[in-house]
């Protein structure tokens, strides 16, 4: 700070804000992500896609989620201008993933996920592709569609990537709970708890969904287990 700001300063401030938010200080975190965003036009927009991506995830905890989610579109556009395909995909993935929390219609989610699947395939990004296909599979089940979602890369990535493993366990626990499959819900929520500690240091909206539903599933499993013993 004594030597002024650099083009990398917005990245430092936005990740600091996200870390503070993850540790429970949302107000301070929100101030830092807004500072990061305000610096982009002053020190350069080379990192705009990443900064907007991380900042939006924090802003959703303070601002109305439906409105805040649209900032990921700005992040996508800024990333594409800079040739940053990774953060363009990440902005789109996070926006699509948050649709579950935002209450977007299932049919709209289905259409958006189809678009992202094509985008991830075009850019050969298997981790993002598996993440969105896992959610897409649940959307189709909730709609009542007979369409099958094949994820040939899933088995390999579940075994080697903790983020994919955690998503796999959560999605299976969630859909088992929604269809009241007790044994499957119990198995997968237990596996989710085993791998959840090794997670991103930044605050993500997915953490809300995980905390809410794993809490509900754990309560349901415990109550059914107790009732079975009576």
pLDDT truncated to tens, each residue of the chain (230 aa)? 566 788 889 999 999 999 999 999 999 999 999 999 999 989 988 899 999 999 999 999 999 998 999 999 999 999 999 999 999 999 999 999 999 888 899 999 999 999 999 999 999 999 999 999 999 999 999 999 988 888 888 889 888 988 889 999 999 999 999 999 999 999 999 999 988 776 666 788 888 889 999 999 999 999 988 877 76
Tell me the pTM. 0.89
Amino acid 151: pLDDT: 84
* Spatial CB neighbours of 136, under 8 Å, sequence gap ≥ 6: 110, 113, 114, 117, 149
Inter-residue contact 157 to 181 (CB < 8 Å): no
Residue 114's φ and ψ, nearest 5 degrees, are -60, -40
Q: Are 149 and 140 in contact (CB under 8 A)?
A: yes
- Determine the 3-state secondary structure of 189 from DSSP: helix
Q: What is the pLDDT of residue 200?
A: 66
């Amino acid at each position: 700070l004594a030597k002024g700001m650099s083009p990398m300063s917005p990245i430092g401030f936005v990740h600091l804000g996200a870390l503070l938010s993850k540790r429970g200080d949302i107000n301070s975190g929100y101030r830092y992500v807004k500072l990061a965003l305000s610096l982009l036009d002053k020190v350069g927009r080379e990192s705009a896609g990443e900064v907007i991506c991380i900042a939006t995830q924090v802003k959703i905890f303070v601002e109305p989620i439906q409105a805040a989610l649209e900032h990921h579109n700005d992040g996508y556009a800024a990333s594409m201008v800079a040739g940053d395909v990774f953060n363009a995909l990440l902005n789109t993935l996070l926006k699509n993933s948050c649709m579950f929390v935002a209450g977007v219609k299932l049919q709209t989610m289905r259409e958006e996920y189809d678009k992202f699947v094509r985008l991830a395939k075009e850019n050969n990004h298997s981790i993002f592709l598996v993440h969105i296909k896992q959610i897409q599979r649940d959307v189709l089940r909730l709609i009542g569609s007979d369409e099958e979602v094949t994820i040939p890369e899933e088995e390999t990535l579940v075994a080697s990537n903790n983020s994919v493993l955690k998503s796999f366990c959560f999605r299976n626990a969630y859909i088992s709970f929604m269809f009241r499959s007790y044994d499957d819900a119990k198995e997968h929520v237990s596996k989710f708890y085993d791998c959840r500690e090794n997670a991103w240091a930044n605050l993500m909206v997915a953490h809300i969904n995980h905390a809410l539903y794993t809490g509900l599933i754990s309560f349901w499993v415990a109550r059914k287990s107790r009732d079975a013993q009576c």
